[in-house]
Amino acid sequence: MQRVTKHRKKNKLRVFLLACFFLLVAAAAVLIWAFQIEPGLLMIKNYQVESDQLPQNWAGRRIGFITDIHSGPGYGSERLRKAVDKLMSENPDIIFFGGDLVDSSTPIEDDEFAREIVTELSRLEAEYGKYAVIGNHDNRLKAELEAAISWLEQAGFTVLINQAVMVDGVWIGGLDESYFGKPDLEETLMQPAKSSGIVSETTDDQADESTLYRIMLMHQPDYLPIYEDSDRKTDLDLIVSGHSHNGQITLFGHPLMKVYQGEEFVRGQYKPFAESDTDLIVSSGLGSVVIHARLFNIPELTIIELNSKN
């Protein structure tokens, strides 16, 4: 009897040790995947937007959206090169950048690193230009803001900070980020949109303000409720945003971590205003912050196809 009891104890110990071993192996595999493999993967997320406000000449045009690079140890020029190649393979008609090119870990004083990032961003090309807003990490310190704007402009982006341009009959605006900046929807919407210089032969660049199709770039999607009392918020037809990273770490499709002003609109296509057909599209972006890991949340590029309801 005593021998049987000892045998059972040994079996239980063996099972316990095997379970611990497999748990450790599984944990190691998850960590390797999250820190080493998944951040280097890449996917394209496609969206369709329809509007009766969209000019006919824009029907079928495609926006290429790239956001939240957080260039540095977690996202260097090699990964950016792959992202640029993939976005260019989609042949977008216009390109938007949603902010957070740099963060506190970016070696902004390293001239070689800066040249590599600018070189890759310069390879992004589209017939109707490329436009950018800044993010909260770009705007945390003066030196980081200057670096982000300088790199984007050197790469050929028009940086919009509470500014707007007209692009072939469509109004495109960009809000300042909302952590350290001063986003102003009213000012951006009320200012006369200056011409981007990209005008078709068939489109009047000085279109009727009341019939303009308006696209707004803004970094933090949850800043939208701030405009709940604004009569002008429903003037927006399409809002494109990033910031949330979809939490970086997800489980069964749900983010385990969320960021301030990226908690309500986390990833996907939304109708943020009940009284209008405004579309909001939020991308989970490319890079990472705090920990350079992603789990069940592959870095993404976004393609938005515009279509007319008419």
For 252-273, give the DSSP string: TTEESS--TT-SSS-SEEE---
| Residue keyed to tokens 């927006």 | 236
Same domain as 244, residue 129: yes
Distances (CA, A) of 228 to 6, 212, 240, 273, 279: 71, 21, 18, 9, 16
Measure the CA dihedral 119/124/126/128, to 10°: -70
Phi/psi of residue 21, nearest 5 degrees: -60, -50
Same domain as 50, residue 33: no
pLDDT tens track for 198-254: 444 334 445 566 678 999 999 999 987 666 566 666 789 999 999 999 999 898 778
Q: What's the CATH code of the domain at 82?
A: 3.60.21.10
Do 222 and 179 meet the contact criterion of CB atoms below 8 Å apart?
Answer: no
Residue range of the domain that includes 188: 44-308
Return d(Cα 267, Cα 221) in angstroms, integer. 10
Is the overall model pTM greater than 0.75, yes or no?
yes
When divided into structural domains, the chain yields a total of 2
291: confidence class by pLDDT, cuts 50, 70, 90: confident
Same domain as 227, residue 249: yes
* HSE-CB for 89 with a 13 A CA cutoff: 9
pLDDT tens track for 271-280: 988 878 899 9
Which residues fall within 8 angstroms of residue 220, CB to CB, at 6 or more apart? 136, 177, 178, 179, 241, 243, 261, 262
Return d(Cα 142, Cα 292) in angstroms, integer. 24
Instruction: Look at residue 37 in the predicted model and tell me its pLDDT.
Output: 86
Same domain as 114, residue 10: no
Same domain as 54, residue 26: no
pLDDT tens track for 36-81: 888 899 999 999 999 999 999 999 999 999 999 999 999 999 999 9
